[in-house]
């Protein structure tokens, strides 16, 4: 590779490292905390099926577009968009898409760190204050956490520090090393927990709950929730995957020493498959515990932090498995949060900043804004903006507005603005039919679907 096209921020060592990093970004609180509770709330099997369909029809094509644009751009999302717009001979204002995404990622980081901090707290609480706890005691621990700004601030600070420490070390010593440890550990822990869940009763009920499809349970809102979630869970629409795509090698050496192009299509399929697998396995770890203890699967956002600790606290050796479970949540959230910070850091590095300085300044800023989310659960819980707390406003603004908008613009750019020949060359797909299928998805299916989500998000439908 000639140096002029080598990304300033580095390149992943191999296709597998890219897969680990992108899977690390995708697998996070969305899979372990959110997916089980929304699947529980929206009726189980039918929702799961719908989610799988949307991942296949919308999520995968948009992810292919994002990785493709990132790799072709080879820089931070802002500068990649500038470069791609130049190549497509359209206005360089398209770089606004990069700013939009990087800002969204940064804002998500501010509250993602607060929720991930809860997992950190439960790692300690599970084998200590939660031992043998009953319903009221478990509720009291959760309420106590929410009511204590200092405890939440401490956990939020530690988590933000973990994120910054990885990002400031750059691709090779930071991100690459982190995902190579975190992701295999995550998969091993998930398997251990699955084994535990499969043998501790309630497993068949969990299987039936998740895979018996009853369409009468499906509401129109469920369709939109499934769609929004498929974007969030695959980390789409905010440039995180675009930034990671920029570090993806164009070629790798095969065993015979010959250089082979790295296929974006099959790589993305692997990532989407792993992300989906983790969400399903997380469900299969959580629901048996829920059913074995006669708990409520539609308990909502508290499922992970209230219902589950209760079940673990009551089981033999449950506190240890419970502790392990929250280590898993922490690792998943950690490998996602680094991808939220990376796009902006990469952009500042391209502007001449040193990486440590960029990571520390941005991390500090995100930490500071995050305090608003910490206080949303206690001191500022009655301070609202448009009827929402700081946390609620940031969550709404990013998930329901910025993310769908970013995804829509990415689909439009890849499908309508970029030259067909450029997209085709970068994707380098073996089958022309598959390429055509992707093009239809990205030009028509994805934009229409995202517009529907967007309209729902701002309350139009």
What is the Cα–Cα distance from 57 to 272, expressed in whole angstroms? 12
The rounded distance, in Å, linking the Cα atoms of 371 and 353 is 26
Residue from 11, 18, 22, 30 binding ligand PHE (CB under 6 A): 30
Copy the structure tokens of residue 242: 């675009």
DSSP 3: G
Candidates 65, 225, 240, 292: give the one binding ligand PHE (CB under 6 A).
240
List all residues 6 or more positions away from 270 whose beta carbon is below 8 Å from its beta carbon: 19, 23
Q: How many residues does the chain have?
A: 461
Determine contact, residues 75/350, Cβ cutoff 8 Å.
yes
**CB of residue 52 to ligand PHE, shortest distance in Å:** 16
Which of the ranges 22-30, 183-191, 220-228, 283-291 carries the binding residues for ligand PHE, by CB under 6 A?
22-30
Q: Which whole-number Å values give the CA distances from 330 to 27, 117, 162, 172, 319, in the listed order?
A: 11, 8, 10, 22, 16
- Burial code of 114-128, b = ≥16 C-beta within 10 A, e = fewer? bbbbbbbbbbebbbe
The yes or no reply on residue 399 touching ligand PHE (CB under 6 A) is no
Q: Is 44 in the site for ligand PHE (CB under 6 A)?
A: no
Q: Which residues pair with 252 in a beta bridge?
A: 260
**Toward ligand PHE, which CB reaches closer, 29 or 183?**
29
Our finding on whether 407 is near ligand PHE (CB under 6 A) is no
CB 337 to ligand PHE: min, Å: 7
Of residues 231 and 291, the one with the C-beta less far from ligand PHE? 231
* 232 touching ligand PHE, by CB under 6 A: yes
410 forms part of the interface with ligand PHE (CB under 6 A): no
Q: Kindly tell me which residue out of 19, 20, 22, 29 binds ligand PHE, with binding defined by CB under 6 A.
A: 29
Output 30 or 43, the one with its CB closest to ligand PHE.
30
Of 9-17, 27-35, 286-294, 437-445, the segment contacting ligand PHE by CB under 6 A is 27-35
Which of 9, 235, 373, 376 lies at the binding interface for ligand PHE (CB under 6 A)?
235
Q: Three-state DSSP class for 232?
A: helix
Map the footprint of ligand PHE across residues 325-344, applying CB under 6 A: 336, 339-340
Q: How many residues bind ligand PHE (CB under 6 A)?
A: 15
Block residue for tokens 């993602």: 112
Residue with the two structure tokens 């707390």: 389
Measured distance CA(330)–CA(276) in Å, rounded: 18
Contact flag: residue 9 with ligand PHE (CB under 6 A): no
The yes or no reply on residue 306 touching ligand PHE (CB under 6 A) is no
- Which residues make up the interface to ligand PHE (CB under 6 A)? 25-26, 28-31, 105, 232-233, 235, 238, 240, 336, 339-340
């Amino acid at each position: 590779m000639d140096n002029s096209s080598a990304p300033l921020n580095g390149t992943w060592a191999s296709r597998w490292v890219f897969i680990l990093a992108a899977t690390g970004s995708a697998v996070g609180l969305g899979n372990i905390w959110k997916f089980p509770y929304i699947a529980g709330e929206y009726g189980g099997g039918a929702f799961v099926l719908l989610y799988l369909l949307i991942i296949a029809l919308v999520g995968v094509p948009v992810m292919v577009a994002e990785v493709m644009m990132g790799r072709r751009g080879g820089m931070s999302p802002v500068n990649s968009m500038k470069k791609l717009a130049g190549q497509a001979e359209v206005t360089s204002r398209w770089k606004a898409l990069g700013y939009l995404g990087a800002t969204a990622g940064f804002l998500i980081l501010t509250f993602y760190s607060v929720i991930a901090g809860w997992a950190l707290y439960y790692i300690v609480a599970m084998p200590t204050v939660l031992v043998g706890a009953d319903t009221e005691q478990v509720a009291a621990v959760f309420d106590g956490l929410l009511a204590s700004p200092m405890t939440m601030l401490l956990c939020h600070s530690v988590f933000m520090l973990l994120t910054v420490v990885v990002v400031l070390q750059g691709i090779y010593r930071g991100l690459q090393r982190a995902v190579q440890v975190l992701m295999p550990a995550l998969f091993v822990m998930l398997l251990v927990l699955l084994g535990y869940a499969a043998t501790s009763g309630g497993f068949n009920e969990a299987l039936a709950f998740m895979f018996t499809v009853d369409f009468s349970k499906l509401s129109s809102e469920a369709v939109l929730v499934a769609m929004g979630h498929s974007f969030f869970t695959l980390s789409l629409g905010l440039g995180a995957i675009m930034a990671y795509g920029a570090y993806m090698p164009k070629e790798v050496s095969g065993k015979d020493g010959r250089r082979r192009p790295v296929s974006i299509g099959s790589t993305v399929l692997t990532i989407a498959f792993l992300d989906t697998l983790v969400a399903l396995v997380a469900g299969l770890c959580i629901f048996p515990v829920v059913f074995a203890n006669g708990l409520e699967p539609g308990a909502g956002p508290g499922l992970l932090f209230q219902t589950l600790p209760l079940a673990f606290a009551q089981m033999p050796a449950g506190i240890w498995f419970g502790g392990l479970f929250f280590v898993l949540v922490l690792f998943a959230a950690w490998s996602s949060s680094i991808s939220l910070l990376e796009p902006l850091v990469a952009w500042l590095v391209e502007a001449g900043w040193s990486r440590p300085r960029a990571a520390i300044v941005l991390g500090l800023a995100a930490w500071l804004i995050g305090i608003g989310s910490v206080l949303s659960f206690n001191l500022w819980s009655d301070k609202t903006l448009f009827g929402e707390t700081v946390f609620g406003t940031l969550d709404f603004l990013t998930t329901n507005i910025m993310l769908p908008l970013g995804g829509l613009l990415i689909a439009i750019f890849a499908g309508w603005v970029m030259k067909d020949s450029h997209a085709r060359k970068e994707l380098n797909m073996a089958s022309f039919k598959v390429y055509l299928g992707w093009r239809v998805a990205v030009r028509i299916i994805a934009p229409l679907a995202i517009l529907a989500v967007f309209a729902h998000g701002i309350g139009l439908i």
